[in-house]
Amino acid sequence: MLKLGNYLALPRAVTQKSAAMKRALITLLSLAALFTVHAEDAKVLATTPDLHKGTEGRINQFNEISKKGEAQLVFLGDSITHGWEGQKAIWDTAFGQYKPANFGIGGDRTEHVLWRIDNGNFDGLKPKLTVIMIGTNNTGHRNGKEPAEQTCAGVKAIIERLAKKCPDSKVLLLGIFPRGEKPDDKLRKHNAAINELLAKLADGKKVQFLDIGKSFLQPDGTLSKEIMPDLLHLSPKGYQIWADSIKDKVAEMMK
């Protein structure tokens, strides 16, 4: 049989329970809001043009190249593309006949490339073909937390910007190169997820997609430091593989 004290304690217990439930609900709503903000932030970061501070000098060099209007083949990307400048012999043998230009900047993400295109890159330049490989810094600099869909949206925006500036030009979109030693590397898997989406941006005519990632891998799927010394950037042997893997496609699209 319940005593009077038990009855008096019931409302207090119910109140405490309700307060706890209320706090839990607030916490869940807060986490949901936080996730939404982060997802939206990622979209803005990937698709909103942003100056990569400290690269202004190199950007101006690209703008001067663009004004001359001579380059028929442009490589557009980040440090991996930038690295072609240290591989002149391979570059000249594979692409020299096309009056090529290297528009790679170390550390660039999709938003940085968008800023460049909006601020002088390709002004006056009408290449027959632009080779794009961008996105691994969206993955790495944000530790795989930028949704693959948002990185893809950034690449899509780049292609659309180029179509407006150079409507008669073609694009060879490369899949983001593998990174990390093993197939189960978190960031490598994230790049692979982005590549699945990038493939859908190709129309088979003006925009073609080519994923040469497997060319850099060992039979067991691992990356060798002979090809990528830091498991991200290419060695001379890696650049030779890159050249050999795309030269036929480049020749076809340059016609």
**17 is a domain residue:** no
Q: Which domain holds residue 189?
A: 48-254
**Could you confirm whether 244 is annotated as catalytic?**
no
**Separation between Cα atoms, residue 255 and residue 241, nearest integer Å:** 23
Per annotation, catalytic residue among 82, 112, 190, 233: 233
The answer as to whether 173 is a domain residue is: yes
> Is residue 134 scored above 70 in pLDDT?
yes
One-letter identity of residue 12: R
Q: Taking residues 34-40, what's their average pLDDT?
A: 41
Domain of residue 138, CATH code: 3.40.50.1110
| Active-site annotation holds for 230 | yes
**Which has more pLDDT, 151 or 31?**
151
Tell me how many domains the chain contains. Answer: 1
pLDDT of amino acid 7: 34
Determine the number of helices (DSSP H) and then strands (DSSP E) in the chain.
9, 5
Length of the chain: 255
Amino acid at 183: P
Q: Are 253 and 129 in contact (CB under 8 A)?
A: yes
CB 155 within 8 A of CB 114: no
Torsion over CA: 19, 21, 27, 29 (sign): negative
The string of pLDDT tens digits covering residues 183-203 is 999 999 999 999 999 999 999
Residue 7 lies in a domain: no
180: left (phi over 0), alpha (psi -120 to 50) or beta: left
Task: Specify whether the CB–CB gap between 213 and 60 falls below 8 A.
Answer: no
Residues 19 and 133: their CA atoms lie apart, in Å, by 53
Domain-embedded: residue 239: yes
What are 45's two structure tokens?
Answer: 């970061």
Looking at residue 234, the DSSP 8-state letter turns out to be P
Say if residue 5's pLDDT is above 80.
no
Q: Does residue 3 form part of some domain?
A: no
Q: Has residue 6 been placed in a domain?
A: no
Report long-range pairs for 216-222 (Cβ below 8 Å, ≥24 apart).
216/177, 216/178, 216/241, 217/178, 221/182, 221/183, 222/181, 222/182, 222/183
CA distances to 126, 153, 169, 196 from 160, rounded to whole Å, are 15, 10, 12, 19
Q: Which of 50, 79, 118, 235 is catalytic?
A: 79
**Number of neighbouring beta carbons within 10 Å of residue 79:** 16
The answer as to whether 38 is a domain residue is: no
43 within some domain:
no
Residues 49-105: pLDDT tens digits? 999 999 999 999 999 999 999 999 999 999 999 999 999 999 999 999 999 999 999
pTM score, whole prediction = 0.84
> Of 168, 184, 220, 230, which one is the catalytic site residue?
230
Per the DSSP assignment, residues forming a β-bridge with 74 are: 101, 130
DSSP state of 42: H
Structure tokens at 43: 């979209």
22 has a pLDDT exceeding 60: no
